[in-house]
Structure 1
Amino acid sequence: MITVAVPHQRIADALGELGDDARVIVWDPTSGPVPEDERERVTIACIPHLSGGKAVYDRIAECPDLRVIQIPSAGYEHAAPFVPAGKKLANARGVHDSRTAEMALALALASQRRLPQFWDAQSRGTWDADVYAPSLADRRCLVIGYGSIGAALGARLRACEAQVTGVARSARTAPDGTDVRAIDDLPALLPDAEIVFLVTPLTEQTEGLVDADFLAALPDDALVVNVGRGKVVNTEALLGELQAGRLRAALDVTDPEPLPDGHPLFSAPGCIVVPHVAGFALLTDKRYIALVRKQVEAVRHGDDPVNFVMMGAFPA
């Protein structure tokens, strides 16, 4: 019998019946240990947003027959250090593509069309026209991290008639026809980029990628949109360019995160900050429910998990 543990009854209700050989229980490993009568039965453990740490994964490790740990995010660097030995970790790649791409597009449009300026004028009860605020159409856009979220963003940018070039670890032509350049090509690409979208996971290669040299290579008034991970950007280097008025930024993620009250990014000219909300979706969302159902099918057929990202190597 396949036993799927989900952290809330609403998720169990959304999953519904999974077949005669599968059942759903409600267990949130962030709130307490697995029920004793379920300890040896849990096959797939789904954990909620904003959860992690050794205590949570130690509780998961108590389930000897567990095959899959399903996290709700595409990024998994926060989970990787704690995955118990022999347990397979799956991320939620594909679940949040549309939401994250929508926010990236919204941030770019807000910055390009100077919406914060107009909202500020409205709050002061004044008419402050900027009739030549630049359009998103015809802008030369780099999407760094052209995976599933990057492709979702690329589709939306092309619908706005922007020019899109992808960047990934290696050069290729994406299934949607986008020219994807290797990350080593960035020095040649940046001087021509009017808007840079960061959609990368946090890895050794991407941490601090957007440093002073990266930013200096961008043309004046270029926009940096980050919906990936805060540590991809060197905050001090970005602040220098913002405070000089040379570049703009629109950030869903930051370093540090959350930003402490009064942090200079909040008041930096040309900077929009939103509190890491781009990709969050209720775990009753149809995309997440479809993913969990696929995990049940994978276990049923003895396959690796969907979105399998790593095997744990850490003793409980």
Structure 2
Amino acid sequence: MSGGAGRVADAARGNWVDGLAPAVTRPYLRLARFDRPIGSWLLLIPCWWSLGIAGMHARALPSLWHIVLFFVGAFAMRGAGCTWNDLVDRDLDGKVERTRSRPIPSGQVTARQAAIFMVVQALLGLAVLLQFNRATILCGFASLAVVAIYPFMKRITYWPQIVLGLAFSWGALMGWPATFARLDAPALVLYAGSICWVIAYDTIYAHQDREDDLLIGIKSTALLFQERTRPMLAVFYAGAVLLIGAAGIMAGGGAIFIVGMLAFAVHLGWQVARIDIDDPAQCLTLFRSNRDAGLILFAAMLLDAAF
């Protein structure tokens, strides 16, 4: 198999899966989105934020072990969640230009093989979760219902991004109990802010598929907002900044955290100013840039906790 054979349409050219991974593993790595890891990063960042505000509250750097565990767990559970999503959506994916090259609709793997792979990834995620304290374990299990229903929401409501926000922001509830063995108000406020962030960036992402989704009856905030996308992004990004900022201040964040929040806010404002909803490539670039925005904020949290 050549490096480009089986490549998924929205994967970056030259990614390591298509170029370096053994051919037999490529369909499974594509199912887990290792050729497009941005989603795993976006799932991970709220986990790290939660550790960050806990560190600011404790006036100490977060546990490196916890940082590593969340990294591994986010990539494992993102892979399991994407495999589940692809199983549920395999018929729809075959009708959309951007997704018909995914492993199941393109015939690279069977549904049964994908289901087995999903279980393997979920077991890896479980092994990671069991390294934490009881409060964190219980919180992690509570996320499964939201993850399970998400793929069906775009058939029902124009707001599937809310359910994605509930799922992708769950890590905001995890780092605090990992540190303190309890769930307190700063983590809950952080969770709300992260949900606003996810709704906005996934609306940008959904504009890539707007025309195909309209044809096959899939709903999204991109279709709901249409020409009102820019002001709606401004509303949700503003909500993210205000709520995440409030969570950090409630946790004891100081000047370094506030500077980081300002940088985060400027980055989100840049996205709102730049977006062209009729340019799918630009929408994808702006969507991916949220990883950088999130990591800038996490770095500020670490510095604030340390100094």
Give the TM-score of the pair, scaled to structure 1: 0.26
Q: Which has the higher strand share?
A: 1
User: Which structure has the bigger radius of gyration?
Assistant: 1
Structure showing greater relative contact order (alpha-carbon pairs closer than 8 Å, 6 or more residues apart): 2
Give the TM-score of the pair, scaled to structure 2: 0.27
